[in-house]
């Protein structure tokens, strides 16, 4: 069986050595990069099964590496675990907004990180297995409401014909909501449907993403047209 390759991108050599040793002990093949530019080159060339990405790296930081990955159709689905010394909640939310699949802070327990790696890889495998034999004709190509349109093939969103730049997570959240117009979902339900079984994701994260989506797609975010709040319950897409 071919070993799954994991790229560890961190500028601390002791972290690279620690993770490489333990991941290899768990049966993974490990590559490493000590700066963001090298990490991006390896991600594009080698398409690893998962990337462990340090937030603070020289040349290109982890946030920008993740953003570039999600903007490239060839690397958009590669899972990312953000690794950083910062423990501020805002940094965590920003990392998730950029499309990271999970987030862990230094110092960390190696066994916890290994568990996170396996969990994220399982989710990626389940996603890849969903409708693998559907033809292009069988897949819905777009979703729209008023002037808002989502192209599911190119992952593009437009509002009145103008492109709207969304993170991977924002796109998934909007796609899920517009696919179920009029149905109310609690924060916990949205976490379950959009974030899956990710660890340590708080309900407040949903509010942050909803707020950002409104800033981007609502003509008047104080009186939203598309994403509506149902007080005491959660959110729904306009029906």
Structure confidence by residue, pLDDT tens digits, 108-131: 889 989 988 998 888 777 766 654
pLDDT at 95: 65
Q: Which of 92, 111, 129 is the last residue of a domain?
A: 129
CATH number, domain of 143, equals 1.10.10.10
Residue 46 burial (CB count, 10 A) = 11
Residue 49 has pLDDT above 90, yes or no: yes
Residue-number span of the structural domain to which 153 is assigned: 139-237
For residue 53, CA distances in Å to 46, 101, 140, 201, 225 come to 15, 11, 33, 18, 37
Q: In what order do the strands lie in the sheet with 80-84?
A: 29-33, 5-9, 50-54, 80-84, 102-105
Q: What percent of the chain has pLDDT over 70?
A: 86
Q: Which of the pair, 199 or 89, is modelled with greater confidence?
A: 89
Same domain membership, residue 95 and residue 25: yes
Q: Are residues 87 and 146 in the same domain?
A: no
Judgement on whether residues 144 and 122 belong to the same structural domain of the protein? no
- 124/11 same-domain check: yes
Residue 61 lies in a domain: yes
Query: Do the domain assignments include residue 109?
Result: yes
Cβ–Cβ < 8 Å for 47, 75 = yes
Q: Are 55 and 63 in contact (CB under 8 A)?
A: yes
Domain boundary among 76, 105, 129: 129
Write the CATH number for 123: 3.40.50.2300
pLDDT above 80 (res 159): yes
- Mean pLDDT, the chain, rounded, equals 84
Joined together, the tokens standing for residue 196 give: 């899956």
Alpha-helix residue ranges (DSSP H) falling in the chain: 13-25, 36-46, 62-70, 89-97, 110-129, 168-178, 187-190, 204-217
* Residue 134 counted as domain residue: no
Residue 58 domain-assigned (yes or no): yes
Asked if the model's pLDDT at residue 53 lies above 80, the reply is: yes
The string over 84-114, giving b where at least 16 C-beta atoms fall within 10 Å of a residue's C-beta and e elsewhere, is bebeeeebbbbbbbbbbbbbbeeeeeeeebb
**Do 72 and 163 share a domain, yes or no?**
no
Residue 22 lies in a domain: yes
Residue 9 lies in a domain: yes
pLDDT category at 202 given cuts 50, 70, 90 is confident
Task: Identify whether residues 125 and 143 lie together within a single domain.
Answer: no
104 and 176: one domain? no
Any domain includes 175: yes
Is the pLDDT at 25 greater than 90? The verdict is yes
Q: What is the mean pLDDT of residues 43-52?
A: 94
Give the separation between CA 104 and CA 117, rounded to whole angstroms.
11
For residues 25 and 124, membership in a common domain is answered with: yes
Q: Do 158 and 99 lie in a common domain?
A: no
Q: Which pLDDT score is estimated for 133?
A: 45
Q: Which pLDDT band holds residue 1 (cuts at 50, 70, 90)?
A: low
Token output for 39: 């990490």
Q: What is the mean pLDDT of residues 227-231?
A: 91
93-112 confidence digits (pLDDT tens): 666 666 788 888 888 889 98
- Residue pair 82/104 in contact by the 8 Å Cβ criterion: yes
106 and 145 housed in the same domain? no
* Structural domain count, the chain: 2
Residue 210 has pLDDT above 90, yes or no: yes
Residues 122 and 19 in one domain: yes
Residue 22 sits in the same domain as residue 120: yes
Residue 29, pLDDT score: 94
């Amino acid at each position: 069986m071919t070993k799954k390759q994991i790229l560890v991108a961190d500028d601390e050599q002791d972290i690279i050595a620690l993770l490489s040793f333990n991941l290899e002990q768990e049966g993974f093949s490990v590559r490493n990069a000590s700066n963001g530019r090298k990490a991006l080159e390896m991600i594009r060339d080698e398409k690893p099964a998962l990337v462990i990405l340090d937030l603070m790296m020289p040349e290109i930081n982890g946030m920008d590496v993740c953003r570039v990955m999600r903007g490239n159709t060839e690397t958009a689905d590669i899972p990312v675990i953000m690794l950083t010394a910062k423990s501020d909640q805002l940094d965590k939310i920003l990392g998730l907004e950029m499309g990271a699949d999970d987030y862990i802070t230094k110092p960390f327990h190696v066994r916890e990180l290994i568990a996170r790696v396996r969990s994220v890889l399982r989710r990626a495998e389940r996603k890849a297995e969903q409708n693998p034999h559907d033809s292009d004709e069988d897949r819905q190509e777009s979703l729209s409401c008023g002037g808002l349109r989502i192209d599911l093939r190119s992952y593009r969103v437009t509002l009145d014909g103008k492109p709207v730049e969304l993170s991977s997570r924002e796109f998934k959240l909007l796609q899920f909501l517009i696919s179920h117009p009029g149905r109310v979902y609690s924060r916990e339900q949205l976490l379950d449907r959009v974030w899956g079984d990710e660890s340590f994701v708080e309900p407040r994260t949903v509010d942050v993403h909803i707020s950002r989506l409104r800033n981007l797609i609502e003509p008047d975010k104080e009186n939203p047209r598309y994403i509506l709040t149902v007080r005491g319950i959660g959110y729904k897409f306009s029906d």
